[in-house]
Chain A
């Protein structure tokens, strides 16, 4: 446990965005995405403005554009879906480069692509400027049930341990000459998954006993209460409010 406790997606930094209390960032990111989703899809310029807003935030947070773009790749499955949409959607059709495309489908594809990308970008910015522990504290601060936050924190805390355990099992399999190449080998992999479950569950029991022996009685003590000043709130909420202005313009224009 001596190595970094930060998750791989976090980029250490001292920017004003990093310094904001986590719950203000969570609230801002969520509100921003809500505003983006409720923008009419015909207002293309509005989405460009949202992208500019996010670029400003990324600059403030000193997250390089390359990193941000690389993490956007997670959406690729849905990009594939969006690309197909003009072909399968209903409604009047238009000829583009010899292909018959549905107008509604094109709008739908644009809608999913634009909103999905902005949503992913907002999440990526949030994750790369907020430490895991802070994120969990922020969730608790936003009145998520404490038990749920505890479950999430245990999942995060032991996620790497369990993943490593799985990796060791894979290395053990491979060092004995096993190579999974088809359905016939599912039995072996499933036995590994079963063993992994038993190990995880038993580890959970041990963790619980260790916690009880240290005085755990159902709730975790909060030792670093996060608070946000009015200035910090208004700084964080500048993003969704700017987006809201754009959104209102999009509806009225």
Chain B
């Protein structure tokens, strides 16, 4: 997904460069607040980890393999600010050292792959962790969903950038379908790997998982025997569980309805894979069927395009709505809890 020079025109590249610079400035401040002077070594080592783990190949089947992109993993393991910094540094070094991604496209690449993936995945992750029961397993589930949606979200962001400043004449709808289609597939792999990795870290050092800090704090209280705050914490949990069922049911239903029902209602259920192969932008899985004529199946493409893109737009729309809704929910609830019992204010975001 590294965009080369000349793919996005100069003004849009400059604009995304400004966006990236602003986001990095905010992240630098945020990371320094979280890690103090430990920022440089810790973020540097995590960036090295992201860089290394991108080289770890996960075999899919018969010679094809995928690898982790790492945005969601970084956000969940070390927090959104440090995550943005680490992935941005990795992209910067890949651009300068390995010529992977153009120098003028750095802004596009950072906006797309560092900022969008990290922010989307972390927002989803926080929302889900708040909603799901306070168990380790729900952290794994939340990281699965966060990673699953973060990759198509990056594809959508790329398509938006392309729609504004693309230099080629491929229709935006085609790019959107191909990009989002392929990246939904990639997102599934990313989600499985991210969830398994977060699960592995949580099993050994739960204190290192930034996203599970709230979870870990309550465990500490129970083990340490400082039961001063324990009843205060337990009350909102009990109160919330009734909401939780409604939330989960609603979320699952809307996701299923928005995405999969409309997709599987199609007469051509494997349209997704076909589009991916037709477009050949499937750079990730490597061995795609470029031997086929790219024109094959153009007749039916319009229908399957509409369905696939509709379904995907639905899933992403639900994701965005959940994020926005959860934000409102949080603020309202926080205000309410702080009114009733100021001691029980949950850990900040």
Whether A associates with B in a native complex is: yes
Name A218's closest neighbour in chain B (CB-CB): B37
* B43 within 8 A of partner (CB): yes
Interface size counted on chain A using CB atoms at 8 A: 94
| A107 vs B59: C-alpha distance when bound (angstroms) | 37
* B334 within 8 A of partner (CB): no
| CB neighbours of A29 from chain B (8 A) | 103
Given known A-B contacts A148-B24, A148-B85, A186 and B45 have beta carbons under 8 A apart: no
CB–CB B201/A163 < 8 A = no
| A247 vs B196: C-alpha distance when bound (angstroms) | 51
| A154 vs B35: C-alpha distance when bound (angstroms) | 15
Given known A-B contacts A88-B174, A127-B97, A159-B48, A111 and B41 have beta carbons under 8 A apart: no
Name B166's closest neighbour in chain A (CB-CB): A108
Question: Which listed segment binds A: B223-231, B276-284, B302-310?
Answer: B276-284
CB–CB B44/A158 < 8 A = yes
Name B92's closest neighbour in chain A (CB-CB): A152
| CB neighbours of B208 from chain A (8 A) | 197-198, 201
| A145 vs B21: C-alpha distance when bound (angstroms) | 10
* A54 within 8 A of partner (CB): no
Give the Cβ gap from A150 to chain B, nearest Cβ, in Å: 4
Q: Which of A108, A119, A156, A197 has the most CB of B within 10 A?
A: A197
CB–CB A91/B6 < 8 A = no
* B56 within 8 A of partner (CB): yes
Given known A-B contacts A152-B44, A201-B46, A116 and B283 have beta carbons under 8 A apart: no
* A112 within 8 A of partner (CB): yes
| A200 vs B82: C-alpha distance when bound (angstroms) | 15
* A20 within 8 A of partner (CB): no
| CB neighbours of B121 from chain A (8 A) | none
Kindly identify which residue among B36, B48, B55, B168 contacts A108, using a CB–CB cutoff of 8 Å: B168
| A111 vs B92: C-alpha distance when bound (angstroms) | 24
Given known A-B contacts A74-B100, A123-B99, A155 and B41 have beta carbons under 8 A apart: no
| A119 vs B10: C-alpha distance when bound (angstroms) | 13
* B328 within 8 A of partner (CB): no
| CB neighbours of A185 from chain B (8 A) | 59
Which B residues have a C-beta under 8 Å from some C-beta of A?
Answer: 4-7, 9-10, 13, 24-25, 28, 32, 36-49, 51-53, 55-61, 68, 77-78, 85-86, 89-90, 92-93, 95-100, 102-105, 167-171, 174, 192-193, 196-201, 203-205, 208, 279-281, 283, 290, 294-295
